[in-house]
Amino acid sequence: MLLATLLGAIAITVATTAVLVLVEPLAPLSEAVRTGALSGGAVIALYALWLNDRRRRIEEARHDLEGEKIADERFARSVELLGNDADQVRVGALHALAWLAGSTPRYKQTVLDVLCAYLRRPFEHPGLPDAAEEADETPQRDPVADREREVRLTAQRLIADLLPWGTDRDPRAYHLDLTGARLEHFRLEGRRIGRLTARHARFHGITRLSTVEATKPVLFTEAAFFGRLEVRDARFHGGVSFRRATFGGEVAFTGATVDGFVDLTTAAPDTQVGTLRAGNGTRVDGAPGRWAVEALAP
């Protein structure tokens, strides 16, 4: 490429000089040679600029490739550390994954999947009974379960932190799979999500989903809510299912809307606050008569 550029520059220099001599035969020959040399030099200068830009792009590509390699290594190492016996190491691994999701957007859904997978792991704690009558008993202390409980609460908080909300302009819809997870004081207030799958999940304490905006179905099929469920002003654009779900506390629907479908094939909560408004054409399954559901006018 360099040789071709030099030959081209020489050719342009000679051609320019010859043309100037033919066009203006009375002009000094030195002026024609100088002008021809400038033309050839311009070609070489353009080649130098192109070569510098090419080197810059190659360097940037190499830097990006090295950055991706480092990110991949950090991700693999952090996932490996989630199996460490020390709870503080697991907490550190969760924060490292969250940092990676923030600094490398292509990892965000993958990191959310890992956090959800961690919460889907089997977990029992004496302070989180599955039966209401057991909740009245004074739970025994379990230091190992207590430490794991804190790790899981960290994972829940990081999931909420990673999801777009407020003025965050991230247009992607992130999906959460919490099938069978045991969750405590779970909250996604104001978050924008895609699909939320929480089949067979167990929700302890207050579950706060107010002002959530879900573009895909939200599935609470056979889930158990042992405390209050808040979905005030939530927007279920892809539908919501409470099929065979159980409720141990009140459900706050005030201002919530649903489109597409709503499955109410289960016993209605004893206490309901506000109404769930179903959009025009929304399919309602089950026995909505005992539920605070209102069909919006077309």
Residues of the chain with pLDDT under 70: 1-51, 53-54, 58-69, 71, 131-140, 296-298
> Looking at residue 134, what is its pLDDT?
47
- H-only helix segments in 137-186: 143-162
Residue type, 42: A
Tokens 């997870």 map to which residue?
A: 181
Residue 68 confidence (pLDDT): 64
Structure tokens of 158? 């990081």
pLDDT for 135: 47
Report d(CA 162, CA 165) in Å as an integer.
9
Q: Please give the pLDDT value at position 284.
A: 92
